[in-house]
Amino acid sequence: MRKIIIVCLFSLIAMTAYAGDWYTGGTLHNKTAMEWHQATYRNRLATSADFITATTPKEKQRLLFNDDMRLLRQRAEALEACITESTQDPETRIMKVSEVGAACLVLLGY
């Protein structure tokens, strides 16, 4: 019984750490859409969060997100979906993610 509790405790700690770090580790800023589609969802989401925070002044970030990372995550999820959907066609796979992301940021009103 004690081993089960310890395993559950470690699992909970690992899940909490993973959930808290969803916005870190994005590496797709200068990659192509093909590389975007080959990357993990977590990497795409973190890169999307980076795009949003890099293009939003600090004072506006406080107004938009009010220190609530759930609001940033909602926007990052929408941006990730926009980039992914916009590059479904194989002909768009050579485009830079940063260029598609910029267009999506404008489209989404961010």
Structural domain boundaries of the chain? 23-108
Instruction: Give residues with Cβ within 8 angstroms of 26, minimum separation 6.
Output: 43, 44, 45, 46, 47, 48, 49, 50
| pTM over cut 0.95 | no
- Angstrom distance (rounded) from CA 49 to CA 51: 5
Helix (H) or strand (E) holding 14: helix 2-20
In single-letter form, the type of residue at position 62 comes to: R
Task: Name 96's bridge partners.
Answer: 32
pLDDT digits (tens, 9 = 90+) for 10-58: 333 333 344 558 999 999 999 999 999 999 999 999 999 999 999 999 8
Each residue's pLDDT tens digit, 44-55 = 999 999 999 999
pLDDT at residue 20 in the model: 53
Average pLDDT, stretch 3-10?
36
Here the tokens at position 5 are 């509790």
Residue 92 DSSP one-character state: G
